[in-house]
Structure 1
Amino acid sequence: MGNSCKKCFERRPQKIHPQLKTPNPKGHQNLNNFISVDQASLFHFQPEQYQFRHLGKQFGIQPITISRPLILLTNVINSNVSQLDSDESDRQEVRVSMGWKVKKDSSSGNTVWQVSDRISLDKNRRREIRNMTMEQALIQRSNLCLEEKKIWLQKYLGKQRIPYVDDREILVINRENLVQESFDAFQTFIDLNLHKELQIFFVGEKAQDAGGVEREWITQIVQHLLSNEFGLFRRLPGLQEVTYYFEIKKEEGNKQLQWYYFLGQIVGKALFDQVPLNFPVCKALMKLMMNKNVKFTLEDLRSYDSQIYNSIKMISSTSLTPEDIKALMINFTVEIYDKNGTIIQYAELIPDGANTYINNENKQQFIELFIDYHLRKSVQKQFENFLQGFSTVIRPESLKIFEEVDEFELILCGSPYVNVEDWQDNTLYRETLSKSSQVIQFFWKALEELNQEDLRIFLQFCTGSTRVPIEGFKGLISNRGKLQKFTIIPSQEENSQMIKAQTCFNRIYIPQFKSLEEVQTAVNQIIINRENWLYFDYE
């Protein structure tokens, strides 16, 4: 950073984690040059085995253990509106807004996000949206497209932001113990306020955080807390998409619940700072974030457990004969089993539920209570602590602007699809480089040949995040919400064969490669050696 920025930086009030104020560098040699990024499980969470036996027992279905291979999160197709409208008649359109068409497959229940021509709002309309009060926005929300809702939300959250010149929070941690030290820091901060700018510094690394390091830190924290290592979430069985929900346990200790609170703070900070988040959780959690008192429906169960969904759907759609009632003998209780077949939770859904059996008159009551137990009551403490942490950053009323969970999910998570053509169209070139430069043509050709998984890894190398804003690459930002398009600058290092990145400003420095093969080698080295990425900052 420049000298004037340094002076400003040094004069601002600072809060540094007291236990880590004078840390000792450790880890890799040449740590000033290398940032060790643990990306080994970024797209390869171990499939979890999980058993549900409640309905199996009651319907006479043998309990099964489901273990699935990894399937990419979401299928997103670059298409035109006219092409999208030609889909099969059993696909119901949910929303067309901000260039996104969201469709639900009525047979599978899966949501498919597809890209169409983007909507462009003029300055006057943007100003009108920003000036809306909450009451005005809520009255008009049905007529607002997703881009307008995002503009309003950013303005609303921006009013709560504490300017970085007034105060900020600083976190200095060792990368080798990133999650634990971050958690400890949040516990020991006095009057932690995540409406302030949060700057992350890794011990022994020279990168100055102007947004990119924070994006990388948030991505890493969420990735680790979703993994099996921490036991906070479980991968849901029987679903096409990789989806997680709270781990069900007999009891949750206070320390474990503090981790959910911490994760809620991180997710809230991501939304507040506009960091697209790889957060593949069950839609029930997204609905709870929008409204903790939400009433769940049968469709919410579909994205939770397909086997239970099909069983409950059968009960809902079938008129039970006296013979059915006698054969099924389903009472108003619920049992949840762990992987080993041990009951971890048992509850009566109503008083004397063990002796109350369903019939045509009370089956709807049973279905509603059963769904609510699985999605809410079985993990009550977990989601309450998560929401408490989340609400320290995001006020619940601000999310009322969204009518559908798919809208909120897009705002929070951005797009999992990396469109190289869109990336290329929204790239700036500096100094001697231009779109027609031979090395630039090699670069884009190399990226076009990558699959989506590798593109996401390379995107994180460049920007600190694996996701793209819903506006596409034109929506990339630096810190403080300032638009910052992806930029390619020629490297000043002679004989260099290494692409380097400044994630804070979404820019890379590229050597004058002489062939496509040289570019492919450099890009592949970044992807293969993602645990030892090299970052640097000229400023």
Structure 2
Amino acid sequence: MSSSDFTPNSDEASRNNLEASSSNLLDNEKIIFDDKDGVMKRAAAKKLIERYFYQLTDGCGNPHCDNQYCASSGVMKPLSPDEAAAQAIHLFSRDVRLCERHPNKIARKQGALLNEKTNGGSNDVCFSTASIPANDIVISQGNMAGCKNDMKYNSAPVPTFLTEQSLYDIIDLCEANDSYSPLIRTLGEIFSSIENLSKSFAQDLSSPTESCSDFGSTEDVKGLKKEQVRSLEGEKDKDEDCCAESSRNNITPVDIPAVRRAFTALFKLKSSIFENALVNALVTLAGNLQMELPTRKEMDNQDDIVNVLVIVFEIPALGSGDFLETALPAICRAAQRLTVEVQAKLARTWSGAARTSIKNILENLQQLITLRVIMTPFQRDFFVQDENVITSATKLMKILYYANMLAGVLESPELRCPNILDTIEGSQSKPKSLPPSDPLADELGVHVLDCRIPYLPYSEFYNELLSDTVEMDRDFANYKSDSGKFSFMNYPFILTPATKTLGLYFDNRIRMYSERRISFMQAFTGMPSQPFLKLKVRRDHIIDDALVELEMISMDNPKDLKKQLVVEFEGEQGIDEGGVSKEFFQLVIEEIFNPDYAMFAVQAESQTVWFNPTSFESDAQFTLIGIVLGLAIYNNVILAVNFPMVLYRKVMGRQGSFEDLQDWNPVLYNSLKQMLEYNQPDFDEVFMQTFRISYQDVFGSTIDYDLKENGFEIHVTQENKYEFVDLYADFLLNKSVEKQFHAFYKGFQMVVDESPLELLFRPEEIELLICGSKNFDFDELENSTEYDGGYTNDSQIIKDFWSVVHSLSLEDKRRLLQFATGSDRVPIGGLSKLKMVIAKNGPDSDRLPTAHTCFNVLLLPEYSSKEKLKDRLVKAIHYSKGFGML
């Protein structure tokens, strides 16, 4: 930035002398920088000389300054501009201390500067429009003849853009004159105009000290030899290239720290002074955006829209008062017209320089959505999906959702492998039905699976009140229709896992009914008809029977797997309305993970199960295990499995990587991480590791494996340790179990390939869907339980029942869940989602309690005492097994 951006017009000659002198100094003194000192910029030294100049002429603004070379210290004699320019160069060459700049003395830039000057000791301040650009505001430093006090506000020009310093000066002016008209007018003009606001608080991209380079502070050049400055000339072009590259990468020219400081100063005033003006300006701005955005769809450069939204969402009060009720809804409605390209630019900006605002912006949007959910009277013909403010805020939150991922820890997209079935040799299955592509994700080149750790936890995006209000049957209908109606299933990040499970449930049920209808139609044509997926098994041979039947079905007609599952235990009278299936899955899982089968191995460190790479079982066995897991999801059954998170990432289409070892084998992970963090020269002697690793098979025999060809001859060094770790993790999590996992995945996809599973759920939510919650809160169960047959929550037997239940051990509580519901797992969303019913089953007797597990109904006789109740209940939950007629 040239000195002309800083000094009054009356000092033009001095400015030119200062610039010429500083340039001559840098040219004549053969100053060179070593590469090890960093990439230094020629303009940075010139900037430093300018700072000396303003310190000598204007001072730092600190009334207690003790620097003898600062005008604010009071010990310096006044210098003419020419004298100050010469002295500045002299001070630079001597490396004299520079003062820290006072907040109200920040370097003037963008041509918008305000200098207060009293007239004969008065506080009269007049705006001068002579010899300045139309978009600058300058307070005359001299006595302006003809400037009258009664005209100084009404005739003052309003800037066409704001800078941090100009806002400070307007505030100071208003406070000094106890009139805030200039501030109100300025806010109204700037914040109502796309053009004016987009130019405000701009970074100086021509100055490397404020754009691409991190160099330019006192500490950056302090102590450098003058011989080194010569190399700054050669770096000038590089700096310009850096700025150009930043522009191509959509880096916003908004100076976000300056915006935040400016808003902090503004909101230190009483908000009543300017709030109405700012709110009205934002509403007008939103209207302008709504009118202008549709005409911009074919335009390439829309950075001004990004700048506007970045500045607006930095307003600290946007989530409260009239801002929340009026301005923010208007901005959200306008923002839903953004093109995908602008959305991507906005996401990149929020993920970069503005990432610390993500939490505040998210909270504002969540408050807006929550407020609208509470205040809107939804009716039969007006659903939450029809409320424009809620839907537009959700669409804007989607941009923030991707920004949150970009601001987090991302892994390479190369680890994505969505078409695993295409890589399975001899696979006869049809291509996997992929969820529809998200245009914003495609534009950003990112996927939710790429994000290892988001900037904010994903749970921050859940809106529980909205999730409880959404009628998922209506939302699912919108999702499946081609009407273009809004569906939250396309924005699943805002819904809790429990609500998303309902969306999956509707999809699965509709597919079941469709298969059943097709079967009935076939019956009319004389073809064999089977409306259900029926499995008849013997309790003592459950694995053999189940896997044989499922294998036959998967080979003959895989579509039958999409039918509703009905299980019958041979020799038992229970009719499967859901409860029999629950026990079937539990028994199958217990047998599958039995060490005798050796299909899975238990990781001792994490107590998780993983594919046994040396298993003797055929691929068909692992395929059938995948079918069982898919059927459990499809039939809404929770399983007692304990897979590491990497399995759920793999079934979603992401290969395992080094970070996945953390919960797969924490001991190994910590050892490898210690290797990566070790930077001492004796690395080879400490670790003595080659690219050959060893592992044990099911019989305990040691097997050697070379991660690279002739790996036993290649030592791990500082240079190749990252390669070793990546290859090691790839072998353990991918290559060693490739055959087993591919077979498992093939069976899994036979059932869920057409469901919106991957659209709705992230890997950690898939785990919740399959395994249920780990929160055994029986207070939730008590509060949600209903009563029938004459019992109420005030009945003594019911009070005794809950007193007994709360006193049970966790293991017995799990047995109670198993007894009453057919599963000892907590459903996603907690025990309140069980909706258990306790019904009266006659007067006092010696009969044990019984249950209809299909309907979560516990039949409880009215026992005469609490002790008898506990005795009968404990016996029932310990010794019950099988299904009989009641």
Q: Is the TM-score greater than 0.5? A: yes
Which amino acid counterpart does residue 521 of structure 1 have in structure 2?
D
Of 555, 562, 565, the residue aligned with 1:195 is 562
Q: Kindly tell me: are residues 437 and 375 of structure 1, through their superposed partners in 2, closer, same or farther at Cα, counting changes over 3 Å?
A: same
CA distance in 2, matches of 1:188, 1:276: 25
Aligned to 1:324: 683
Matched residue of 2:837: which SS?
strand
Q: Which amino acid aligns with 2:824?
A: T
Say whether the 8 Å CA contact 2:657–2:733 is kept in structure 1: no
Q: Deviations over 1:255-298 (max 9, x none)?
A: xx32221111111111111111111112221211222xx24333
**Partner AA of 1:132 in structure 2:** Y
Question: d(CA) in 2 for partners of 1:455 and 1:170?
Answer: 32
Structure 2 CA distance for aligned equivalents of residues 281 and 508 of structure 1: 32
Give the Cα separation in 1 of the matches to 2:691 and 2:723. Answer: 9
| Of 167, 185, 210, the match for 2:549 | 185
Q: CA deviation at 1:342?
A: 1.9
Q: Who is 2:511 aligned against?
A: 160
More strand by share: 1
- Counterpart contact for 2:840–2:862, Cα < 8 Å: yes
Q: 2:658 aligns with which of 266, 275, 298?
A: 298
- The aligned counterpart of 1:335 is 694
Residue 124 (structure 1) shift: 5.0
1:308 to 658, 663, 668: 668
Q: 2:715 aligns with which of 357, 370, 377?
A: 357
User: Structure 1 stretches of 5 or more lacking a match?
Assistant: 1-91, 101-116, 477-484
Alignment coverage as a number of residue pairs? 412
What corresponds to 2:250 in structure 1?
A: none
CA contact (8 A) 1:500 1:535 kept: no
Name the counterpart of 1:94.
457
Aligned match of 1:517:
867
After the TM superposition, which residues 110-189 of structure 1 pair with which residues of structure 2 at under 5 Å, given as runs? Answer: 120-123=467-470, 127-128=474-475, 131-132=478-479, 140-163=491-514, 164=516, 166=519, 167-189=531-553
Aligned to 2:816: 458
Could you say which residue in structure 2 is the equivalent of 1:270? 632
Distance in structure 2 (CA, Å) of the matches to 1:156 and 1:395 = 12
**Aligned pair in 2 of structure 1 residues 270, 334: CA closer, same or farther (>3 Å)?**
same
For 2:737 and 2:543, locate their aligned partners in 1 and report how far apart those are by CA, in whole Å: 23
After TM superposition, give the deviation of residue 469 of structure 1 in Å: 1.3
Which residue identity is paired with 2:640? N
Evaluate the alpha carbon distance shift between residue 513 and residue 522 of structure 1 in structure 2; reply closer, same or farther with a 3 A threshold: same
One-letter amino acid of the structure 1 residue matched with residue 881 of structure 2: W
Mapped pair 1:214 → 2:581 = yes
Shift of 1:154: 3.0
Q: What one-letter code is carried by the residue in structure 2 that aligns with 1:196?
A: K
Q: Secondary structure at the residue paired with 2:854?
A: helix
CA shift for structure 1 position 413? 1.3
Q: Provide the rounded CA distance (Å) in 2 between the counterparts of 1:338 and 1:353.
A: 20
- State the distance in 2 between where 1:431 and 1:138 align: 39
Q: RCO greater where, 1 or 2, for CA within 8 Å and sep 6 or more?
A: 1
- How far 1:221 sits from its partner (Å)? 0.6
For 2:608, the equivalent position in structure 1 comes to 243
Query: How far apart, in 2, do the equivalents of 1:409 and 1:371 lie?
Result: 22
Confirm or deny that 1:427 pairs with 2:785. yes
Deviation at 1:514, TM superposition (A): 0.9
- The code of the aligned residue for 2:803 comes to K
After superposition, the Cα gap between the structure-2 partners of 1:126 and 1:504, relative to the gap in structure 1 and judged at 3 Å, is closer
> Contact conserved, 1:290 with 1:399, CA < 8 A, in 2?
no
Encode CA deviations 1:59-87: one digit per residue, 9 max, x unaligned: xxxxxxxxxxxxxxxxxxxxxxxxxxxxx
Q: Does 1:495 align with 2:860?
A: no
Contact 1:420 1:448 in 2 (8 A): yes
The reply on whether 1:288 has 2:650 as its aligned counterpart is: yes
Identify the residue that residue 373 of structure 1 maps to in structure 2.
Answer: 731
- Which letter does structure 2 place at the counterpart of 1:245? W
Q: Which amino acid aligns with 1:271?
A: I
Change (3 A) 1:393 1:493: farther
Q: Are positions 1:260 and 2:622 aligned together? A: yes
Aligned mates of 1:299, 1:213 — CA distance in 2: 40
* More displaced stretch, 187-196 vs 429-438: 187-196
* Distance in structure 2 (CA, Å) of the matches to 1:195 and 1:266: 12
2:466/2:495 contact within 8 Å kept = no
Aligned equivalents of 2:641, 2:773: Cα separation in 1: 11
Cα deviation, residue 99, structure 1: 8.6
| Counterpart for residue 279 of structure 1 | 641
Q: 1:399 to 1:373 in 2, by over 3 A?
A: farther
Measured after TM superposition, the shift of residue 216 of structure 1 is 0.9
For residue 221 of structure 1, what is the amino acid of its counterpart?
V
Q: Give the root-mean-square deviation of aligned CA atoms.
A: 2.9
Q: Distance in 1 between matches of 2:882 and 2:552?
A: 31
Paired letter, 2:836 = F
> Which deviates more, 147-156 or 360-369?
147-156
Letter of the structure 2 residue corresponding to residue 506 of structure 1: N
CA distance in 1, matches of 2:863, 2:457: 46
CA shift for structure 1 position 463? 0.9
- Structure 1: distance between partners of 2:543 and 2:689: 44
Amino acid across the alignment from 2:613: I
CA distances 1:412-459 after superposition (whole Å, capped 9, x unpaired): 211133322111122121121111111111111111111221111111
- Aligned equivalents of 2:462, 2:818: Cα separation in 1: 23
For 1:316 and 1:151, the matched residues in 2 are separated by 44
Query: Matched residue of 1:199: which SS?
Result: strand
Q: Distance in 1 between matches of 2:731 and 2:504?
A: 32
CA distance in 1, matches of 2:674, 2:566: 52
Q: Which runs of 5+ in 2 are unaligned?
A: 1-454, 520-530
Q: How does 1:435-474 map to 2 (within 5 A)?
A: 435-474=793-832
Inter-partner Cα distance in structure 2 for 1:399 and 1:265: 15
Between structure 1 and structure 2, the one with the greater Rg is 2
> How far 1:155 moved relative to its partner?
3.6
The worse-fitting range, judged by mean Cα deviation, of 184-193 and 296-305 is: 184-193
Moved more, 151-160 or 225-234: 151-160
Q: Which residue of 1 aligns with 2:572?
A: 205
Q: Identity rate of aligned residues, in percent?
A: 25
Contact persistence 2:479–2:490 (CA under 8 A): no
- In terms of fraction of residues, the more helix-rich structure is 2
